[in-house]
């Protein structure tokens, strides 16, 4: 089988339809969505803009949902939740539907929405994602959300780490050049919070006082769960 990596959503030229797609936005959208669902959220609805989020909330009923997300890493005025995974504690999110818009992560998810099997990945579920890909036994694509259309090192590190975990579990696969580069970049050990802190996204988070989020997102295998995009809703 082939397991390719795309460093940016724009590289997804081939149809995602037949492949298993795993969307990665390590800092922080897919880490936060995973944390929300692990803590009992009913579902996460990724949307492209603040306006779409508000429209969707009105459609479903403002009291039935939580509005969440960020712009420039900061909470969106009037929304109940930002994009820090530690905010998504069970008392806040259990049983709730979360409408979420972020700069890069939700856009990548919307780009992948046509795939038959679309999951979200981060370091926090790297082992579970590797296992899920191996169980499918089909071609797969690790789709990095990147940063404003460009490369983001933390997503590439995460993709490389998932490929390492697959290799360690005995999976045999071929991949594109991006997959080979991601494997080299990740090296053989876990990805450290220090390495993440040195990326552009990591530096931005430190600048706005959100260093704790980097450490949170660096914890490999925090959850043994792989959220799936079911229509327009992410769920466990
Ligand atoms: C994104 O979707 O662009 C990121 O999750 C940004 C962030 O860290 O808030």
Q: For 158-167, how does the pLDDT look when each residue is reduced to its tens digit (9 = 90+)?
A: 999 999 999 9
| Residues 27, 17: Cα–Cα separation, whole Å | 26
Test site for ligand 1: of 24, 27, 148, 154, most ligand atoms within 8 A of the Cβ: 27
pTM exceeds 0.95 for this model: yes
Do residues 133 and 3 make contact, with C-beta atoms less than 8 angstroms apart?
yes
Pick from 52, 24, 33: nearest CA to 93: 33
Residue 211 CA to residue 189 CA, distance in Å, equals: 22
User: Ligand 1 within 6 A of 103 CB?
Assistant: yes
The stretches in the chain having pLDDT less than 50 are none
How close is the Cα of 27 to the center of ligand 1, in Å? Answer: 6
Rounded to whole angstroms, what are the CA distances from 127 to 110, 131, 134, 159, 164? 24, 6, 11, 12, 10
Q: What ligand 1 atom has the least distance to the C-alpha of 70? A: 9
């Amino acid at each position: 089988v082939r397991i390719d990596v795309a460093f940016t959503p724009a590289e997804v030229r081939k149809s995602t339809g037949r492949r298993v797609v795993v969307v990665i936005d390590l800092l922080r959208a897919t880490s936060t969505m995973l944390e929300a669902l692990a803590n009992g959220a009913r579902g996460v609805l990724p949307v492209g803009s603040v306006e779409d989020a508000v429209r969707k909330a009105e459609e479903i009923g403002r009291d039935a949902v939580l509005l969440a997300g960020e712009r420039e890493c900061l909470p969106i005025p009037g929304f109940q939740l930002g994009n820090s995974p530690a905010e998504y504690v069970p008392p806040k999110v259990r049983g709730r539907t979360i409408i979420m818009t972020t700069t890069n992560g939700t856009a990548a998810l919307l780009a992948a929405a046509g795939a038959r099997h679309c999951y979200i990945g981060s370091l926090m579920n790297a082992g579970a994602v590797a296992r899920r890909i191996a169980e499918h036994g089909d071609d797969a694509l690790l789709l990095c959300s990147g940063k404003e259309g460009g490369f983001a090192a933390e997503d590439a590190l995460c993709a490389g780490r998932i490929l390492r975990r697959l290799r360690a579990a005995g999976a045999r696969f071929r991949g594109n050049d991006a997959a080979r580069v991601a494997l080299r970049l990740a090296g053989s050990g876990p990805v450290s919070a220090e390495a993440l802190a040195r990326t552009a996204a990591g530096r931005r988070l430190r600048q706005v006082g959100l260093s704790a989020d980097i450490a949170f997102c660096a914890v490999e295998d925090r959850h043994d769960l792989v959220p799936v995009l079911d229509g327009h809703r992410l769920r466990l």
